[in-house]
Amino acid sequence: MKILISPAKSLDFKKPLPISEFSTPLFAKEAFQINQLLKKETPKKLQNLMNISEKLAELNWERNQNFATEVAEKESRAAVYAFNGDVYSGLDAFSLNEEKIEQMQSQLRILSGLYGLLKPLDRIQPYRLEMGTSFQVGTHKNLYEFWKDKVTDQLNSEMEEGELVVNLASKEYFGAINTKTLNAPVISPEFKDFKNGKLKIISFFAKKARGMMARHLIDQTATSIDDIRSFTKGGYHFSKEETLNEMQPVFIR
């Protein structure tokens, strides 16, 4: 089973790490290629391109300029411990023991606008580049065109026959997968909360639930749909009544 999640916009490069071993991003050369193009953009262009504040544009311009092929340990960090958003709060990778960190490294994959596809322990440098950014790379008119075949082919090469892909990424990031050529069934769980007497997907809670689901699957060394349905973290439970498609199991609370 492979578990797909999105990266986070916010980063934390200061919190002490529980591990000292790292891996290298498979698409490091491609990330450097994209960065070489980003380096040419002014802070103002980045502000407009990414729809961010002037302050964030200046920060990311500096990140782009400092991006290097050979990077010191203090200037890089294992991806799963660098991203600092709601999904990663739910995942809580800092509390995993050594055995489960190895399991996470085997099962979990992070989709990235800059790096394409990351293993949790892949060393990354500070960056911001969302997959949906309208940014041309060579003859590719956007990041989806640049990454889709590369990322999908890599996933296919990692998976054995009969393995499942659990999509816990946002629509923006899962769009980088070519589902027509992916050689695996895709399960896309949904998380709904009761609000004003109705079940709704509430973004903040759903993001954290995706992280909690990823943690559940890692803890369980999950392989099957039944393992997915057994999720009960955070007060959620599988709802057979709300599930209209077995490939999109619904969890409610």
Q: What's the pLDDT band for 70 if we cut at 50, 70, 90?
A: confident
Using DSSP's 3-state secondary structure scheme, residue 133 falls into: coil
Among residues 197, 189, 193, 194, which one has the least CA distance to residue 213? Answer: 189
Whole-angstrom distance, CA of residue 85 vs CA of residue 192 = 19
What tens digit of pLDDT does each residue of 166-221 get?
Answer: 999 999 999 999 999 999 999 999 999 999 889 999 999 999 999 999 999 999 99
Whole-angstrom distance, CA of residue 133 vs CA of residue 233 = 33
Whole-angstrom distance, CA of residue 90 vs CA of residue 87 = 5
CB-CB contact of 182 with 18 (8 Å): no
Beta strands 198-200; 165-167: pairing state? unpaired
Task: Tell me the whole-structure pTM to 2 decimals.
Answer: 0.96
Both tokens of 23, joined, read 């891996």
Least confident among 39-53, 72-86, 110-124, 184-198: 72-86
Across 239-253, average pLDDT:
97
